Structure 1
Amino acid sequence: MKRVGKTFAGIEIVHFCTNDLHREIWNKFNIDQKLGVVVFWMFIVPKILEVMQHIGCEYIFLFAADMTPDEYLVNYYKTYLKFKDTTEHGTTMSLYDYGCKFMHQETASLKAKQEFFFEHFNRDEDAI
Structure 2
Amino acid sequence: MTSKEENKNIIEEFRSQKNKNTLGNYLKKNAWTEDLAGETRIYLVKDSEGKVALYFSLKCGLLFSKKQYDKLEDDERKFVDILVDAKRDNDLETIKSYYEYGSSEFSDIDRLFKIAEKRIDLKNETQEFGGKNTLAVAECFSGIELRHFCRNEAYHTPEDLKTPLGFGIFWEVIVREIFKITQKIGCKYLYLFAADKTENSDIKKLVRYYKSALKFYECDEDDIIIIRPEYDEDCYGLIQEITKLSSNQEAVWQEFSDVYV
Normalising by structure 2, we get a TM-score of 0.43
The CA deviation at 1:5 is 2.1
Give RMSD over aligned pairs.
2.2
The CA deviation at 1:120 is 5.6
The CA deviation at 1:125 is 8.6
Alignment of structure 1 residues 44-123 onto 2, 5 Å? 44-68=174-198, 69=200, 70-86=203-219, 87=221, 88-119=223-254, 122-123=257-258
Aligned match of 1:10 in 140, 143, 154?
143
Q: In 1, Cα distance between the equivalents of 2:228 and 2:257? A: 38
The CA deviation at 1:90 is 1.7
2:173 partner letter: F
Normalising by structure 1, we get a TM-score of 0.83
Question: Which has the bigger relative contact order, CA under 8 A and spacing at least 6?
Answer: 1
3-state DSSP class of the match of 2:217? coil
Q: In 2, Cα distance between the equivalents of 1:92 and 1:125? A: 35
Moved more, 85-94 or 99-108: 85-94
28 and 79 in structure 1: CA distance in 2 versus 1, 3 angstrom threshold? same
Q: Is the Cα–Cα contact under 8 Å of residues 90 and 102 in structure 1 kept in the other structure?
A: no
**Runs of 5+ in structure 1 lacking a partner?**
none
The CA deviation at 1:89 is 2.0
Q: Is the Cα–Cα contact under 8 Å of residues 83 and 104 in structure 1 kept in the other structure?
A: yes
18 and 125 in structure 1: CA distance in 2 versus 1, 3 angstrom threshold? closer
Q: How many residues align?
A: 122
Per-residue CA deviations over 1:21-46 (Å, capped at 9, x if unaligned) read 22xx2251240x32111010010001
Percent identity, please.
36
By percentage of residues, which structure has more strand? 2
3-state DSSP class of the match of 1:114? helix
2:176 partner letter: P
The CA deviation at 1:122 is 4.2
Q: Which residue number in structure 2 is paired with residue 41 of structure 1?
A: 171
The CA deviation at 1:4 is 2.5
